[in-house]
A = this chain, B = another copy of it.
Amino acid sequence: MIKVTIWNEFRHEKKHDIVKHLYPDGMHTVIARGLAGDKDLQIRTATLDEPEHGLTEAVLADTDVLTWWGHVAHGEVRDEVVQRVQKRVLEGMGLIVLHSGHFSKIFKSLMGTNCSLKWREVAEKERIWTIEPSHPIAAGIPESFELPNAEMYGERFDIPTPDKLVFLSWFQGGEVFRSGCCWERGQGRIFYFRPGHETYPIFYNPTIIKIIGNAIHWAVPRIQKEDVCPNAKSLEVIPPRKVDYSFVPEAIRKNIPTA
C-alpha cells in the first residue's frame, strides 16, 4: 500500500469564478478521485489553510509520495514546513511537483536554481511527446497526446539538467518545454510535470491522471534513511603518522610546534 498525500494551495478554487465552478471541491479532490481506482494507493489530501498546511510531522512520516500544486501563495508556505518536507524527500519520500509548483519553495530548495520559465495564457493547444517510452512514468502513455487548452510554459526552464527527460511539449504558439523531468536527491525521487493550469480542466483528463499515478508508483521510497555525518573508524590499520611539512616555507615551518 502506497501512502499518498495530495497537497493543494486551494486558493484559486475559492476566489476565481471559473476555477470555483470547474473545481468546486478543489483540484486536490479531483486528482484524488481520479486516482481512486488504483487499489495500491491510500490517499489523503492536505491544503495550505489547514494547521501546519496539513503537513505535520505525523502526516509526513506517514506519507510515501507527496504531490504539490501551488501558485498565488507560494510565499505563505512556512519555511519550517518546507524544511520538513525537504528533509523527508532526502530521507526517501517521493515528490511530484505539478505545473505552477515550479516556483514553490520546496521545488526551488531541492533544485537550487531559479526554476523560472516563459509563460502565456491563451488556451492554446499543447502536444506532449513521450521521449522515453520505456520509463515507468510513460507506461501506457501514447507516443504523443494533445491538451486542447493549456497555459504555455516555454524554455529556457531554469532547472538542473534532469537525470531523465520523459516528456517534451510542443505549443501551438511556437514554444517547446521539458515537461516531464526526473531527478534523484538524497534517497528521494522527484518528478516535475508541467500540465495543470487551474482555469482549464486538465485534472479531469485521464491521460494526465494516469501519468500522475505512474509517477507516484515510480517515486515510492526504495529505502528510508536518516541523514548522518559520522566520525568513522578506519577499516585498515593506519600506523601513527607524522605530518609532512616539506611544502611549507622555512620561515613559517620553524614556528610550527609539531613540525
Contact = CB atoms under 8 A, between A and B. Distances in A.
Contact of A201 (B201, B236, B247): B247
A231 B242 CA distance: 32
A253 to B, nearest CB: 8
A235 B144 contact: yes
A119 B170 CA distance: 16
5 contacts: A18-B256, A18-B258, A21-B252, A118-B232, A131-B156
Interface in A145-199: 148-149, 152, 154-158, 160-161, 163-165, 168-176, 178, 183-187, 199
A22 interface: yes
Interface string A106-138: 000111111011111011110101111111100
A50 interface: no
- Chain copies in the assembled complex: 4
A37 interface: no
B174 A21 contact: no
A62 to B, nearest CB: 20
Interface in A5-27: 17-18, 21-22, 24
Contacts of A131: 155-157, 178
Contacts of A58: none
A206 interface: yes
B201 A243 contact: yes
A242 B241 CA distance: 28
A133, A139, A205 pick with most chain B CB within 10 angstroms: A133
Contact of A174 (B112, B164, B186, B235): B235
A174 B222 contact: no
Nearest to A17: B257
A238 B172 contact: yes
Interface string A221-259: 111010111111111101001111101110010011110
